[in-house]
Amino acid sequence: MTTLLPSNGRTFNQTVLTTRQTGQNLLTNRQTLLKKTKPPPRAKNEILWLPAFGTSRFLPRYKPTHEKAARAKFYPRFVREQKTTENLVLLPLPKTCYYNQSMLLQLIFNSIVAGLLLSAMAMGFNLIFNTTKVFHLAHGAIYVCGAYSLMHFLTFFERGSTFGWFIALSFSILFVILLSWLIELLIYRPLSRRNASQAITLISSMGVYIFLVNLIALIFGNETKFLNPNLGDSISFLNIIIVPIQAVQLLTAAVFLIAVLWISNSKKFLQVRAMMSNETVASVMGVNSNAIRLFAMVLGSILAAIVAILRLYDTGIDPNAGMGITLSAAVAVIIGGGSSIRGTIIASLLIAFLQTTTEWFLSAQWKEGMTFLLLIIVILWRTEGIVSFKMRVEEK
């Protein structure tokens, strides 16, 4: 009996006495004893991973009991008592409740990872938007399709084998390429031949988005899907906690960004730039405009699929996940200033920082609201974006 009891300052006799007096079983007694004593000091690696949205789940917090107490202290009764909805709505705690010495560093690190992912997405959007002049909302649908197709193809190959995984990855990327090619061929190209306005192409793109997303929801269901990367424990570096998938995200996004930047500096890319600035003149000068439109669609879609797959292993993907990130990418493109690729990267890092901070201090639901407030401010004060070139009046 002595071995079972905790050594928490009380003598053995007292413990036995209370057990006999109350007649309770040992377990409840142990609990009452534990309550009276101070909570044990927090172990170094004892971190709670909250199933929150976005990147904030990487931020360490206190154990659940403490969090519950803190929540009870800071929130009014009606919120506390909604036990069934507690899992649905994750209320953020005031910053005094968190414990992390290097909060700012962690925040910056998380926003850099999110920002690089967003900038890969935004780069694809930028390419498509500037070459085809379509406000490509269906980018979000392609993003979701990338993740779901990988999940679907993985069921054909045995889990765990690296070779099978890469084959599934290549199949899913092929699928995404095919999909974007079909969208371009069947919808965007006929519309551009008729010189349709951007508003009309926006509506058609919305139609494609709604169609694809609902098709996916019909086949795979509406719930969030995520895969476990099995990459080992998280690393602590400079008081920043790095989850392995974050490191993978950082590396992959960086590699793809560098690749796209390298492509955009190559000589062949001049044709794309010509197409971006003036399609008619470019096609008169012998640029194959259809091929370049297709190239932009395919490259952008591959980037979107890669980002989606990285997100699938991290926070998971549901059929409606595409809209939020596509709108953020679109805002990054507009804020970054038209066709400038550097501007897009800077703007997406800025937006990711804004979103991570908002998620940290307010709530995950404010994220998009804040992003669009930023867009409104930029539209009001600096319509041409952060990085912009001076144009002649006739060109505008």
Partner 1 sequence: MNYLLHIIIICEIYLILALAMNLLGGYSGLLSLTQAAFYGIGAYITALLLTKVGVSFPLALSVAVFFNLIACIPVIWFSIRLRDLFFALSTLAWQIVVFSLLYNWISVTNGPFGISGIPKPEMFGFRFGSLGEFALLGGVITGITLIFFIGLHRTPLSRLFQGVRDDQLAMMTFGKKPSYYKALAILISSGVSAVAGALFATYFSYIDPTSFTLNESILIISMVLIGGLGSVKGSVAGALFYVLLPEALRFVNIPDAVAANLRMMIYALILILLVMYRPHGFFGKYKFE
User: Which residues form the interface with partner 1 (CB under 8 A)?
Assistant: 79, 82, 85, 88-89, 135, 187, 190-191, 195-200, 202-204, 206-211, 214-215, 217-218, 323, 327, 330, 334, 362-363, 365-366, 368-370, 372-373, 375-376, 379-380
Q: For the CB of residue 190, give the shortest distance to partner 1 in the complex, in Å.
A: 6
Our CB check for partner 1 shows the closer of 249 and 344 to be 344
Which lies closer to partner 1 via its Cβ, residue 90 or residue 167?
90
State the first-to-last Cα distance of the chain, in angstroms, to the nearest integer.
85
CB 148 within 8 A of CB 317: yes
* Half-sphere exposure (Cβ direction) of 138: Cα atoms closer than 13 Å: 25
What are the distances in angstroms from CA 164 to CA 150, 170, 227, 305? 11, 10, 15, 18
Cβ proximity to partner 1, 258 vs 376, nearer residue: 376
Smallest gap, in angstroms, from Cβ of residue 200 to partner 1? Answer: 5
Residue 370 one-letter amino acid: M
CA distance 194 to 37: 77
The phi, psi pair for 309, rounded to 5°, reads: -65, -40
Output 26 or 89, the one with its CB closest to partner 1.
89
Residue with tokens 């269901």: 221
Which amino acid is residue 208, in one-letter code? Answer: V
Residues 6+ apart with CB under 8 A from 200: 191
Altogether, the residues listed in the chain come to a count of 396
Q: Which is nearer to partner 1, 37 or 198 (CB)?
A: 198
195 or 280, CB closer to partner 1?
A: 195
Burial of 347 per CB tally in 10 Å (0-12, 13-18, 19+): buried
- Cα-based distances in Å from 230 to 4, 235, 310: 35, 14, 13
Residues contacting 312, CB < 8 A, separation 6+: 147, 150, 151, 225, 226, 227
Whichever of 19 and 328 has its CB closer to partner 1, that residue is 328
Q: Residue 248 is which amino acid? A: V
Output the six-digit token pair for 46: 């004892």
Residue written as token pair 């009001």: 380
Closer residue to partner 1, CB minimum distance, 48 or 391: 391
Name the minimum Å distance from CB 361 to partner 1. Answer: 12
Is 374:351 a contact under the CB 8 Å cutoff?
yes
CB of 65 to partner 1, least distance (A): 25
Closest CB 68 distance from partner 1, rounded Å: 19
